[in-house]
Structure 1
Amino acid sequence: MITLKQSLSLLLAAGLSVSLLAGCGSSDSGAAEGPSAKAEIVNKEGFPIVSEPLTLTMMGPDVGIQNWADMPVIHEMEELSGIHLEFMNAPKESFETKKNLVFVSGEYPDMFYAAGLTPAEELTYGSQGILIPLENLIDEYAPNFKKILDENPEIRKSITAPDGHIYSLPRIEFNQPWYKNPLWYNGDYLKALGVTKLPETTDELYEYLKRVKEEDPNGNGKQDEIPLTSVKLKDIRTWLLGAFGIYEEKIYVDDLDKVHYTPVEEGYKEYLTYLNRLWNEDLLDHDTFSQTAEQKKAKGKNGQLGLFSDWHAYFVLGGEPSSDDPMFSPVKSDMVDTPAIARNKGVTGGAFAITSTNPAPEASMRWVDYIYSYEGAVLFDKGPDGLLWKYTDKEARVKEWLPVPNGMEREDYRATITPNYGIPTPAMMTDDINKGLTTDFDKWVAQQSQEKLLDRGARIPFPVLFLTEEEQAEVTSLQSDLDTYVEQMEARFVTGQEPLANWDKYVETINKMGGGRLAEIYQTAYDRWKSS
């Protein structure tokens, strides 16, 4: 049992500022029951949001480029709203640990921003009264978000917990088809090898990777090319699983509405067999299970990578955005007629929540609701007008980019002006946010996504939904051991430490650990969601 004193010590060791936590201790404020102490100073429309100065605390993950308090977007929002924010940031890589410690400590921020709250966390801390219900606040103080829910009832269904409450607001991106970052081919390698048609089958992909290894496409006279690289398989897993008819790495639903637990599927076995072949022939990077993303990128900038995953190819290879490095076209094996291709669910829950110690939940809801408007979305995504962009036709929402200060890369500079960079922030992303700002490269990427994913039947692998409290408790217990076992065995099968001849024994172990039960629970939840 971790005591409050121990929790605060851990928070100090982790680098969180206790001064920011002061005054945010737990109390029976009844924020969800009736008007807060600050409700009378909240203006229901327009700016400022509050008629008296108000300071609130916010916790979110920091990508380590700029302090949020120094960002122009935060300054502009404070001027508009009249609300001053103090931040409890923690590095993105360790944010989950810090978030858990904060929940244990009893010392909560007023708001969680881009915290990636899971349905389990929402149910647990919502039922404990730590996260407050938001549906009444949405009705009264969030006209932008309420309009989104009224026009998209599926979103309301997906973010409503089994107890009928909404505990967090989501990120909504119907205009982004990617479920995971795509894979990209090194265009220089394709050109050097005379490849004009991308692989369409697992056999063709194998033959291409083999050529990368043996034919010196980087032209340095050394056999230092790495045909396929990864970081613990998490960045390439779903793309290669799709070749064997599987949409998702854990739970997915097929065209007949049957729920599957991926790690025991025959397609998963064939995926392991394929990767083991690549591993044995040095076609899969032998640093896969030990390297960091930064180490992977260093290999790319050194001209060593043939096929890899990232947001864009130039993030790894360096240089300028280029259409010379094509997006991976999902391949199929002999098991299937067409590859299984997962697409973005469009809704990512847990992006914004309000805690019970927040003295002004109404003002907090009005603050975040602005981000769900067109104007607020542009501010938080692109920064203030006149800094990185400007309008050429404001009425038509057409914009143009301005020169980037100090010759920086535009995305690098954007990361210094807004917290909406590399984290799942609350937002409703629409095409008109980028109207006039899309480059030829952006259009090419969209075309690649359309042709290689959407036109080929990309589908949502499993909807965003909640389990009941009892179901969630059982799933959490089951997954704790299952996830660890599956991850360990995946690495062992791929590297050959565990022979695939032991597959039946592996499946038997998973079933004993509750893999079948996990699928049953999600089947029940899916059937309930579908009929609701």
Structure 2
Amino acid sequence: MKIYRKTGLMLLCLSMSISIFTACGSSSDKGTASTESSDTAAEVHKTGFPIVDNPIELSIMAPDVGRQDWNKMPVIQEYEKMTNIKLKIQNAPQDSFETKKNLVFASGTLPDIFYAADLKGSDQVTYGSQGLLLPLEKYIDEGYAPNLKKILDANPDIRKSMTTPDGHIYALRNIQPSAVWYRGPMWYNGKFLKKFGMENKLPQTTEELYNYLKKVKEEDANGNGKDDEVPLSSVKLDDLRMFFLGFWGMYNEDIYVDKENKVHFPQAEPAYKEYLTFLNRLWNENLLDHETFSQTDEQKKAKGKNNQVALFSDYFPYFTLGGEPSEDNPMMQPVSSDIAGTPVYGKHPGINTIGGFAISNTNPNPEASMRWIDYQFSEEGYSFWAYGPEGTLFKYKDKATGEKEWLPVPDGTDREEYRGTITPNYGINTPGSYENSYVLGLRTSFDDWIDKETATKLTPIAKAPFPSVFLTVDQQTEIKTLRSDLDKYVKEMEAKFVTGAEPLSNWDKYIAQMKKMGYEKLESTYQQAYNTWAASK
């Protein structure tokens, strides 16, 4: 959880031309919006469309991926007609948005709405406590966000995870209560499994996994007569770490809480040593790709498309192996170790950790702004913002049930790339919520297979590692100082232990060094934050 330090940035802002902030923010004559409804604010309908009878304009700051002018997007154009709310769009390129956003906050000249703004927990605590962002719970509970309120009432832990230590909600997020994947899973190369007659008998233990990877290496799994098989490939272990840690009972590659509500820093756990020992064994026998710590994801994928890789991580298997979506390459069944209660899987917590929507203190129409965003917390609205109005990417087969079917993409363009020209909800961290019915009719048999693999192999052993908690300003400062060196040390030592550059006989020395660097303070701070979260109502 990084901290934004304002002092140096404020000095930079004072040297900038005032015109920059005029372009990024709302007009300066608005004054400060009150948390009470303004006499001049638009009259807002709490349900249905339009949101307001008389048109209003709201300024909105958001990152842009460069696919299309937002003013020309069908979603923006149609939603303005539906709501009677015209947007004054203030984009910044995605790669420079963070800098522009910080400058705008430092200037105090703010847009009415921040959208897909990647507001970290520290941003919400800092700017909320400074009064730059409005508390949103008032508008939620007074009926201006009926779709969101329904979700929060059904999922009180999600409401708690959006509430800062001062008792306010300053930013809305992407909420998926039924989500399971926290990272891309691991997948087997189905061709290799078939050669060894293991399509229906996947490894169940770490020892069985080792034996399978050894078989791949020694028995010419791809049948080309060359010693070119890569049993397990990775990119710096970042793509497999979280999945593999579950084999030894750890729910996360960062802070996690166990079933007794005790917080753990996994890299200091005895079980983590067992994880390192296993990977070191694979490394020593050339079963773990020796380019793991030097290759790019593209280089790993090239090996997959060349039919060399047996086990790998990716969002879908064909992303690495090539070809079309199919059911030929099964999801890895997490394997058990000698530790009781394994394997486990770190489940998605049901809510994004980054805030995607906020209302500034100069917004004259916060009620209308809340109604504007609430549509994305309904399945109809999420579908609209994901795929556009009917007749762009899809048409309804049955409007009563919501069943849809794809339309041909103009000029043979890739459907996903074309989607980026019709809606801003493409490639950025947007707020909203859905379950699954909004894609009714658009799903394929591959989608159904993925759901079945997930339900069978991951859901029964899944638990959210840690709630999305907020730290106080003092805690943020302390954690940032601790993690600046600790995280770097842990990552370096992981590579050294796995490759043998540092013998595992030096484990005690490693733990002693982490104690000096403050990992126990890290655990205690997060334990305090977790206890506060758990006790909140």
Q: Which amino acid aligns with 1:112?
A: F
Give the equivalent residue in structure 2 for 1:255.
259
The 1:422–1:290 alpha-carbon spacing in structure 2 relative to 1, beyond 3 Å, is farther
Q: Is the 8 A contact 1:55 1:85 kept in 2?
A: yes
Q: Is the 8 A contact 2:235 2:300 kept in 1?
A: yes
Q: Is the 8 A contact 1:68 1:87 kept in 2?
A: no
Give the equivalent residue in structure 1 for 2:156.
153
Moved more, 70-79 or 305-314: 70-79
Shift of 1:388: 1.9
Shift of 1:150: 2.8
Shift of 1:376: 0.8
- The separation in 2 between residues aligned to 1:232 and 1:403, in whole angstroms, is 40
Give the equivalent residue in structure 1 for 2:55.
52
Give the equivalent residue in structure 1 for 2:75.
73
Q: Secondary structure at the match of 1:76?
A: helix
Question: Sequence identity of aligned pairs in percent?
Answer: 55
Q: Is the 8 A contact 2:376 2:432 kept in 1?
A: yes
- The separation in 1 between residues aligned to 2:513 and 2:99, in whole angstroms, is 30
- The separation in 2 between residues aligned to 1:504 and 1:10, in whole angstroms, is 52
Q: Is the 8 A contact 1:199 1:329 kept in 2?
A: yes
Q: Is 2:383 the partner of 1:378?
A: yes
Shift of 1:300: 2.8
Q: Secondary structure at the match of 2:117?
A: coil
Q: Is 2:456 the partner of 1:437?
A: no
Q: Secondary structure at the match of 1:114?
A: strand
- The separation in 2 between residues aligned to 1:8 and 1:498, in whole angstroms, is 49
Q: Is the 8 A contact 2:35 2:134 kept in 1?
A: no
Q: Secondary structure at the match of 1:447?
A: helix
Q: Is the 8 A contact 2:204 2:335 kept in 1?
A: yes
- The separation in 1 between residues aligned to 2:38 and 2:286, in whole angstroms, is 63
Q: Is the 8 A contact 1:173 1:430 kept in 2?
A: yes
Give the equivalent residue in structure 1 for 2:134.
132
Select the residue among 255, 271, 278 that pairs with 2:275: 271
The 1:481–1:88 alpha-carbon spacing in structure 2 relative to 1, beyond 3 Å, is farther
Q: Which amino acid aligns with 1:185?
A: Y
Q: Which amino acid aligns with 2:231?
A: P
Q: Is the 8 A contact 1:26 1:106 kept in 2?
A: no
Query: Unpaired runs of 5+ in structure 1?
Result: 12-16
- The separation in 1 between residues aligned to 2:314 and 2:417, in whole angstroms, is 16
Q: Is the 8 A contact 2:189 2:329 kept in 1?
A: yes
Q: Secondary structure at the match of 1:492?
A: helix
Shift of 1:98: 5.6
The 1:326–1:416 alpha-carbon spacing in structure 2 relative to 1, beyond 3 Å, is farther
Q: Is the 8 A contact 1:109 1:355 kept in 2?
A: yes
Give the equivalent residue in structure 2 for 1:420.
425
Give the equivalent residue in structure 1 for 2:243.
239
Shift of 1:102: 5.0
Q: Which amino acid aligns with 2:332?
A: F
- The separation in 2 between residues aligned to 1:45 and 1:424, in whole angstroms, is 26
Q: Which amino acid aligns with 1:113?
A: Y
User: What is the RMSD of the two structures over their aligned residues, measured on CA atoms?
Assistant: 3.0
Q: Is the 8 A contact 1:492 1:498 kept in 2?
A: yes
Select the residue among 99, 115, 118 that pairs with 1:116: 118
- Deviations for 1:307-354, whole angstroms, at most 9, x for unmatched residues? 222221122222211100111111122233421211111122412222
Shift of 1:515: 0.8
Q: Is 2:332 the partner of 1:328?
A: yes
Q: Is 2:396 the partner of 1:394?
A: no
Q: Is the 8 A contact 2:24 2:61 kept in 1?
A: no
| TM-score normalised to structure 1 length | 0.89
Shift of 1:242: 0.6
Q: Secondary structure at the match of 2:152?
A: helix
- The separation in 1 between residues aligned to 2:105 and 2:489, in whole angstroms, is 27
Select the residue among 473, 485, 491 that pairs with 2:495: 491
Give the equivalent residue in structure 1 for 2:3.
none
The 1:525–1:338 alpha-carbon spacing in structure 2 relative to 1, beyond 3 Å, is same
- Deviations for 1:5-30, whole angstroms, at most 9, x for unmatched residues? 7459999xxxxx95883444889943
Q: Is the 8 A contact 2:293 2:495 kept in 1?
A: yes
Q: Is 2:525 the partner of 1:521?
A: yes
Shift of 1:123: 0.8
- The separation in 2 between residues aligned to 1:46 and 1:516, in whole angstroms, is 52
1:507-518 correspondence to structure 2 within 5 Å: 507-518=511-522
Q: Is the 8 A contact 2:188 2:330 kept in 1?
A: yes
- The separation in 1 between residues aligned to 2:348 and 2:38, in whole angstroms, is 38
Shift of 1:195: 2.5
Give the equivalent residue in structure 1 for 2:453.
448
| TM-score normalised to structure 2 length | 0.88
Q: Is 2:318 the partner of 1:310?
A: no
The 1:310–1:504 alpha-carbon spacing in structure 2 relative to 1, beyond 3 Å, is same
- The separation in 2 between residues aligned to 1:101 and 1:291, in whole angstroms, is 36
The 1:436–1:491 alpha-carbon spacing in structure 2 relative to 1, beyond 3 Å, is same
- Deviations for 1:349-404, whole angstroms, at most 9, x for unmatched residues? 41222233445433322211111123211111232212222222222222223333
- The separation in 2 between residues aligned to 1:7 and 1:55, in whole angstroms, is 24
Q: Is the 8 A contact 1:41 1:52 kept in 2?
A: no
- The separation in 1 between residues aligned to 2:499 and 2:34, in whole angstroms, is 52
Give the equivalent residue in structure 2 for 1:354.
359
- Deviations for 1:481-519, whole angstroms, at most 9, x for unmatched residues? 322222222222223332222221221121122211121
- Deviations for 1:378-433, whole angstroms, at most 9, x for unmatched residues? 11123221222222222222222333333444444434433334544211111221
Give the equivalent residue in structure 2 for 1:14.
none
Q: Which amino acid aligns with 1:302?
A: N
Q: Is the 8 A contact 1:20 1:57 kept in 2?
A: no
Shift of 1:256: 1.7
Q: Secondary structure at the match of 1:163?
A: coil
The 1:429–1:22 alpha-carbon spacing in structure 2 relative to 1, beyond 3 Å, is closer
Select the residue among 464, 474, 480 that pairs with 1:460: 464
Moved more, 339-348 or 301-310: 301-310
Q: Is the 8 A contact 1:251 1:262 kept in 2?
A: yes
Give the equivalent residue in structure 2 for 1:142.
145
